[in-house]
Homo-oligomer: A and B are copies of this chain.
Amino acid sequence: MTMAGNQVKGFSFATAAAGIKQTQRPDCALIFSDIPAACAGVFTRNQVVAAPLQLTRPRVLQGKCQAVLVNSGNANACTGAAGLEAARQNGRTLAAELGIAEELIALASTGVIGVQLPGARLDAVVPHLVKERSADKAAAVAEAIMTTDMFSKTSVARLQTPGQSATILGIAKGAGMIHPNMATMLGFVLTDANIGAQLLQSCLQIAVEQSFNSITVDGDTSTNDMVLLLANGQAGEGEILPQTPAAEDFQLQLNTVLLELAKMIVRDGEGATKLVQIHVRGARSTAEAKEAARSVATSSLVKTAFFGEDANWGRIIAALGYSNAEVDAQRVDIFFDQVQVVSAGLGTGPEQELLATEVLRRKEFRVTLDLHLGAGSSDYYTSDLTYEYIKINADYRT
């Protein structure tokens, strides 16, 4: 999505090449709000938490944030006290340069684990970042935070409520280690809507659950995942209050922005050639629907069959069967887009499979699994598992 005309009032951006990556490409970025913004955050559930997250999580819980400093090329995870101090110092340097409180700064890192962050290099470019920031550089931020990403990821929506003209802008990265809670993914969502930190947090959790927590590339949950949502109210409208049409609209648009980013991440999954939506319905509950969808979406055999464009529904039923959701094989229906390949647990024959193979040739398609046990439904987005995935990950550090 183009960024032209998609500025968010009161936010500015800058990038720099600090030399954290081997290349001379930009590898750090600043996001700045003219005033302290209300903020919300969702963080990795991995027990091993990178240094910048250790600092940022308690700050975000205070509900205020004015600047985000992010680097790619080094995760600053498993780096001990030295890594924590490096992140803290980066924050201090930026706070001093901006003339704001250290607690208003969020820090994020992505890249290789277990290597000390060259924090001094990051400190050295902070003056440049602060000086060069401008309202139209959000796309450059999306570029600077890429690691194995093949393309940068931004998404924009505008509130539709009468009297609201606020914008929601999402910036994300993440191509490998993509799996809930959450993915090696960073997401920065900025809005000029006027909305309090508490409502913001609730909206973010709902939107993340349906987007970043419903995607998988390789089943690995990273130490660095973080989604931040900043609202600075600079669009100039009245506060969006809970349980109003404006709040519903905000939730809807936020869901759209995050789901669009999440799908981009899967589409850009390491080595991925296909984006597949696993839609489960008829489960006993929403939670079981999500478990069933997750089990199918993360099966290496299913993902490899997608790559092979093989309508191998047996592997799908097997993955349903070992999920934590209740499944009765004799009730299961399976569709590839509109083509039904399984009816009540039995194959519908070679003609249907041939039609399904046509569906599998598509770059994007949907697999619908109807369990016929209840009203629960959920979606999961996954990629195929390819030679290229192996290549990227066998060679990542060497």
Contacts and interface: CB of A to CB of B under 8 A. Distances in A.
A357 B125 CA distance: 35
A234 interface: no
Contacts of A220: 299-301, 315, 318-319, 322
A327 B47 contact: yes
Given A220-B315, A305-B393, A47 B329 contact: yes
Interface string A327-354: 1111000000000001011110000000
Contacts of A312: 113, 396-397
Interface string A304-335: 11011010111101111110001111100000
B387 A300 contact: no
A222 interface: yes
A310 B78 contact: no
A326 B222 CA distance: 16
Given A220-B301, A345-B78, A114 B317 contact: yes
Interface residues of A: mostly helix, strand, loop or mixed?
Answer: loop
Contacts of A3: none
Contact of A308 (B114, B307, B385, B395): B395
A336 to B, nearest CB: 14
The 10 tightest CB contacts between A and B, nearest first, are A113-B314, A308-B394, A48-B321, A304-B393, A114-B314, A221-B322, A46-B321, A218-B300, A48-B329, A47-B321
27 contacts: A47-B327, A47-B328, A48-B329, A49-B321, A77-B317, A78-B329, A78-B342, A79-B346, A80-B344, A112-B314, A113-B314, A113-B317, A114-B314, A114-B346, A114-B347, A115-B347, A177-B301, A181-B322, A218-B301, A220-B301, A220-B322, A221-B321, A223-B321, A304-B394, A308-B398, A310-B395, A312-B397
